Amino acid sequence: MKQLITLTFFLLTFTAFAQKPCEYSANVTDSIGTYKITNECLISEKNFGNTFNYVFFALAQTDGLPTLNLQLIQKSKDFIKANCFDKNSRVFLQLQNGKVVTLMHVDQENCGTLIRDDKGYDNRVNTGIFMFLKDNFEELKKSPINIMRIKYLTSTEDYIVKNELKSEMNGKVYKPDTYLMENIRCVE
């Protein structure tokens, strides 16, 4: 009997703490529809000399359609090459289990916005919205990400996705490799 009570307590505790609650930066329902988006996660940070590059993920759901919002922020005193998204842009995620998941960009060309700050830096902010393919959606729940490849209009870039990333920009610690595993249920 004692073992049965212990087992029951263990199972209840395990299920209660298995998933953390979803955190949204926006969760709106109005006459037009519904929109919710998870908090952003820093996926990649590259700082070299006077050049800084950041890649952020956020998961969104618009009227039941889940998407990945990818935001690129580039900051430099030198020339910043524009990485444009178009209808042929893709995000390829290689998972630790060896599978590759492909996300397709919505048909909307975007090269970002260039802003000069008061310290003489040029800042380019570019956001792309990517749709999940139905057959790959389930794979993202099962395995962390190893490598991310972004196919732009004219180039391709690869990023190693770390299991833990302490940002030099804000000092926060991020878990980019498991971000989709932990948050994809929030936009289903």
Per residue in 47-105, pLDDT (tens digit) is 998 899 999 999 999 888 999 999 999 999 998 888 999 999 999 999 999 999 999 99
| Prediction pTM value | 0.83
Q: Which one-letter amino acid corresponds to residue 10? A: F
Which tokens is 170 given? 């804000």
Residue among 58, 71, 90, 93 nearest 184 (CA): 58
Handedness of CA 103, 37, 185, 168 (dihedral sign): positive
Whether residue 93 contacts residue 148, with contact meaning beta carbons closer than 8 Å, is answered with: yes
Q: What's the average model confidence in pLDDT over 12-22?
A: 58
pLDDT at 12 over 50: no
d(CA 84, CA 72): 10
pLDDT at 18 over 60: no
- DSSP label at residue 22: P
User: What number of CA atoms fall less than 13 Å from residue 135's CA on the CB side?
Assistant: 3
Scan for tokens 């298995």, then name that residue.
18
Q: What's the average model confidence in pLDDT over 144-164?
A: 95
pLDDT at 9 over 80: no
DSSP lists the bridge partners of residue 50 as none
User: What number of CA atoms fall less than 13 Å from residue 130's CA on the CB side?
Assistant: 27
pLDDT at 8 over 50: no
Q: What local confidence, expressed as pLDDT, does residue 19 receive?
A: 63
Q: What local confidence, expressed as pLDDT, does residue 14 receive?
A: 44
Q: Residue 2: which pLDDT band, with cuts at 50, 70 and 90?
A: low
Torsion of CA 129, 184, 169, 112, to 10 degrees: 0
pLDDT tens-place string over residues 89-147: 999 999 999 999 999 999 889 999 999 999 889 999 999 999 998 778 889 999 999 99
- Cβ contacts of 124 within 8 Å, gap of 6 or more: 72, 73, 74, 75, 80, 82, 112, 113, 114, 115
